[in-house]
A and B are shown apart, each in its own frame.
Chain A
Amino acid sequence: MVLKDALTLSYRTVVSYRLRALLILLAMALGVAAVVVLTALGDGARRFVVSQFASLGTNLIIVLPGRAETSGGFPGALVGQTPRDLTLDDAASLATLRGVMRYAPLNVGASEISAGGRLREVTVLGSTAELIPIRNMKFAQGRFTAGSGPNPAEIVLGSALARELFPAGDAMGQRLRLGDRRFRVTGVLASQGESMGFNTDEIAVIPIDHAQSLLNTQSLFRILIEAQSRSMIEPVKAAIRSTLTVRHDGEEDVTVITQDAVLSTFDRIFRALTFAVSGIAAISLAVAGILVMNVMLVAVSQRTAEIGLLKALGATRQDIKRLFLLETLWLALAGAGVGIALGYAGSLGLRLAYPQLPAYPPAWASLAAIATAILTGIAASLLPASRAARLNPVLALSKR
């Protein structure tokens, strides 16, 4: 028998037993749909967390003063000793390191802001113009040009803050008071919303020199560095550490962290979770497989006489095995197709219900679900098919 004819013949058999076909198809489809939806959920959660981190800036390295003691060292040695300040000169010394794309010194404080009779408390970031690209912030209007030297008194407002202080939308160029100093508005940030609990819509950004005198400090809160690429993160980190250690008289008294490390940990955790969840969903496919096997066993015993006839007509065992295998495969394939459709619909439903969650089924999950459905179909048909092939034709024909 030619494969094409076996395909046609088994397809015709499948469609002529509607109820049986529907039952198997449904079982397979539900299993596949479960795999697709649950992986979409897991992968969506992973992407959500990753995008939250990415909105903080890519390839970001953060330097903070003080040594985060994790292990070893002399427990008593640092007691009572305040870490050395992190200065603007320290920050400038990092600019020329290989692999550094840009850097921004950062001071953060709270201050009172007032304009046109309105007064409120605001979080102030003091930095240079580089802060904006490093932190992935965008301008709705204007710009920020502060360097690390003396700067004019300019201020950039978060979108919500600008709206609140200047409801008419004419913030650009206006003068306002921050603490006891006067600033001119040179830019308004585009609305970005909250990311990792920090709302850029509610902040004000001023040049670093003004921030340091406003907050009355010479010590930086952070230095933000953007590496040229992901692969440069580690070498840049090492270079920062050694440069600052030399500058601080051989004392390694800064902490260098990367969000990349945190990010990849989360990434790994969520990937593992997704696999686990889809593995659990795959169990429902295995259950479907057992159901399919039983239905096919019933089919074999119902069609005993027909199998006997095929043998009398000269079908080999191989032919008969193949017919039953293909029958199951048709159903598994159709079930996988319907299941994928259901799974995508379910994922769409998830996305509609939780718009923040990018619950897209990953391509590998759909492929894995189809492959599992086909393997399940093959496994489930092995026993029925070989039982059919081994039937004694004389006994089979005598059964009516």
Chain B
Amino acid sequence: MIELSGISRIFTMGDQEVRALNRINLRIGPGEYLSVMGPSGSGKSTLLNIIGLLDLPTHGTYRLESRDVTALSEAEQAKVRRERIGFIFQSFHLVPRLTAAENIELPLILEGLPPAERQARVQAALQQIDLSDRAHHRPAELSGGQRQRVAIARATILNPAVLLADEPTGNLDHKTGAEVVALLEKLHHAGTTVIVVTHDRELGGRAHRRIQMRDGEIVGDES
């Protein structure tokens, strides 16, 4: 369902060119559980951003669910991001002035759903991440693990086809990190394609398919 062919991403800084991705070819099927590992600066985040339509490749074609998504208009790409893709970040990125419930509600608001339906879905999502009793707390009143669980609920509230996680446990201790991983794997079992970028060998090893990157290229792909 994800098809990258000949994808390059070149950043130009002044007269210097940085090849963050170099002619990447990658196919990912629906429901896969995949980890991306590699040294810092090897292009992992750039790859994830391109898959998530936050960034566009300099060369190559990207087909998502058999559609050439790089050719879509900005508004259509936003719609794909909203409905088909979920993002999770190392630093959670919760909106500090909104409560946990309101943060989870954001994608539903952007989608334009009516309030009654939003409430029902947010309640269900809070139950899934086991934070119903923290619904009206602000991010500052939550622990790191709780914050990342809220972020995961927010990323998956519209049932995306792909969940992209860039070092989701990078800011968490071992125990809370494990809770977050358990949640991701639960989503994988429910049918979501999960792609995790990580430095953590143990976490990366749990994935069913493991990709190694170096200098913008894929140097290992084992299942």
Which A residues are closer than 8 A to B by beta carbons? 1-2, 5, 9, 12-13, 16, 305-306, 308-319, 393-394, 397, 400
Decide: A16 near B97, CB < 8 A? Known: A310-B106, A313-B106. yes
B contact residues around A400 at 8 Å (CB): 91
| B123 interface contact, C-beta 8 A | no
A contact residues around B54 at 8 Å (CB): 311-312, 393-394, 397
A9 touches B83 (CB 8 A): no
Q: Is the interface of B mostly helix, strand, loop or mixed?
A: helix
B contact residues around A310 at 8 Å (CB): 106, 110
B81 touches A312 (CB 8 A): yes
Docked complex Cα distance between A309 and B78 (Å): 12
* A193 nearest CB across to chain B (Å): 62
| B140 interface contact, C-beta 8 A | no
Interface residues of B in 44-89 (CB under 8 A from A): 49, 52, 54-55, 74-75, 78-83, 85, 87, 89
13 further A-B contacts with Cβ under 8 Å, apart from A5-B109, A313-B107, are: A2-B109, A308-B93, A311-B81, A313-B81, A313-B110, A313-B154, A315-B78, A315-B82, A316-B74, A317-B78, A393-B55, A394-B49, A397-B89
Write the chain A residue with the least CB distance to B114: A2
Interface residues of B in 95-125 (CB under 8 A from A): 95, 97-98, 106-107, 109-112
* A138 nearest CB across to chain B (Å): 65
Decide: A12 near B97, CB < 8 A? Known: A313-B110, A314-B83. yes
B78 touches A305 (CB 8 A): no
Write the chain B residue with the least CB distance to A2: B112
* A320 nearest CB across to chain B (Å): 10
B contact residues around A5 at 8 Å (CB): 109, 112
* A97 nearest CB across to chain B (Å): 74
**Which of A9, A308, A317: most chain B CB closer than 10 A?**
A9
A394 touches B55 (CB 8 A): yes
B contact residues around A317 at 8 Å (CB): 74-75, 78
B110 touches A314 (CB 8 A): yes
B contact residues around A9 at 8 Å (CB): 109
Docked complex Cα distance between A13 and B52 (Å): 27
* A388 nearest CB across to chain B (Å): 14
B95 touches A1 (CB 8 A): no
A contact residues around B81 at 8 Å (CB): 311-314
Docked complex Cα distance between A312 and B75 (Å): 13
A316 touches B78 (CB 8 A): yes
**Which of B78, B83, B111: most chain A CB closer than 10 A?**
B78
* A6 nearest CB across to chain B (Å): 8
Docked complex Cα distance between A314 and B112 (Å): 12
Interface mask (B24-54 → A, CB under 8 Å = 1, otherwise 0): 0000000000000000000000000100101
Decide: A319 near B93, CB < 8 A? Known: A312-B54, A394-B49. no
B93 touches A309 (CB 8 A): yes
* A35 nearest CB across to chain B (Å): 34
Decide: A314 near B95, CB < 8 A? Known: A1-B110, A394-B49. no
A contact residues around B89 at 8 Å (CB): 397
A contact residues around B109 at 8 Å (CB): 1-2, 5, 9
A312 touches B110 (CB 8 A): no
Write the chain B residue with the least CB distance to A303: B95
* B171 nearest CB across to chain A (Å): 12
> Lowest 9 A-B CB distances belong to which pairs?
A314-B82, A314-B81, A316-B78, A16-B97, A309-B93, A312-B87, A393-B54, A5-B109, A316-B75
Docked complex Cα distance between A400 and B87 (Å): 17
Docked complex Cα distance between A9 and B109 (Å): 9
Of A2, A314, A397, the contact of B78 (CB 8 Å cutoff): A314
Docked complex Cα distance between A311 and B80 (Å): 11
Docked complex Cα distance between A5 and B115 (Å): 9
A contact residues around B93 at 8 Å (CB): 305-306, 308-309, 312, 397
Decide: A318 near B110, CB < 8 A? Known: A13-B97, A313-B82, A313-B154. no
* B136 nearest CB across to chain A (Å): 14
A contact residues around B78 at 8 Å (CB): 311, 314-317, 319
* B61 nearest CB across to chain A (Å): 20
Docked complex Cα distance between A319 and B85 (Å): 18
A318 touches B49 (CB 8 A): no
Write the chain A residue with the least CB distance to B76: A316
